[in-house]
Amino acid sequence: MHIPDGFLDPKTILLCYGISVGWIAVALKRTKGKLGEKMVPLMGVMGAFIFAAQMFNFPIAGGTSGHLLGSFLAALLLGVWEGSTVMAAVVIIQCLVFQDGGLLSLGANLLNIAILGAISGLWIVKLSSLTSLSKKMFLFACGTGAWLSVVVPAAACAGELGLSGVAPWKTTLVAMTVIHALIGVVEAIITILIIVVIDKIRPDLLRISATTS
């Protein structure tokens, strides 16, 4: 999902950078007031875990592979703004150190992974927290949110490529969403397993109430 340089036209690059810089600026401001003895190490551990987890690819179909995105998980455990901040740091390091995604395309990659990935599925969990759900239904909501956190950014990536004239909208949308729908299933399973473990050892980390930012 990391877009390399040479695929986006100037207007798409500027649009994505504008949205991403604006969002991250607000995220940093909102996060700054919540940094404490507990949040700082949590953000560090979450960032390190996601960074390491993304190194491991799993086979999907037709010779393609995928890896854990982690944006939904970060937003669920830390909060939207904190999760976006952590994911932004991960994406930036991947770009600057490992050349995973282009520098000109960094704004689009931040928008897709750090922003849309964090917010696209979390609303389902927050909505479910307003009602009395069983643990199984809560886990189902988390799995659905994790799936959306992969598919929505993939669709956005397809839109950015289509807007840049790389290929017809329909072609890019189908190509991106179909394969990432499968990747999203694996993301959902991994996310649910992680949440089950956390619920057993550190249930206080599951910040799904109205206190979630």
Compute the distance between CA of residue 132 and CA of residue 117 in angstroms, rounded to an integer: 26
- Residue 64's pLDDT is what? 66
What tokens were used for 154?
Answer: 């993939």
Q: What is the mean pLDDT of residues 189-212?
A: 77
Third-level CATH fold of 10-205: Arp2/3 complex 21 kDa subunit ARPC3 (1.10.1760)
- Residue 34's pLDDT is what? 76
- pLDDT per position as a tens digit, 95-136: 999 989 999 999 999 999 999 999 998 888 777 666 666 788
Compute CA distances 122 → 57, 137, 157, 188, whole Å: 24, 15, 19, 13
Compute the distance between CA of residue 67 and CA of residue 117 in angstroms, rounded to an integer: 14
- Tell me which of 46 and 207 has the higher pLDDT: 46
Compute the distance between CA of residue 59 and CA of residue 103 in angstroms, rounded to an integer: 27
- Tell me which of 33 and 155 has the higher pLDDT: 155
Compute the distance between CA of residue 47 and CA of residue 67 in angstroms, rounded to an integer: 15
- pLDDT per position as a tens digit, 50-88: 999 988 877 876 666 688 899 999 999 998 999 999 999
Compute the distance between CA of residue 73 and CA of residue 33 in angstroms, rounded to an integer: 22
Share of the chain above pLDDT 90, in %: 64
- Does the pLDDT value for residue 211 go beyond 70? no
Share of the chain above pLDDT 70, in %: 92
Q: Can you give the pTM of this predicted structure?
A: 0.90
User: E-assigned strands of 14-131?
Assistant: 57-59, 65-67
- Does the pLDDT value for residue 210 go beyond 90? no
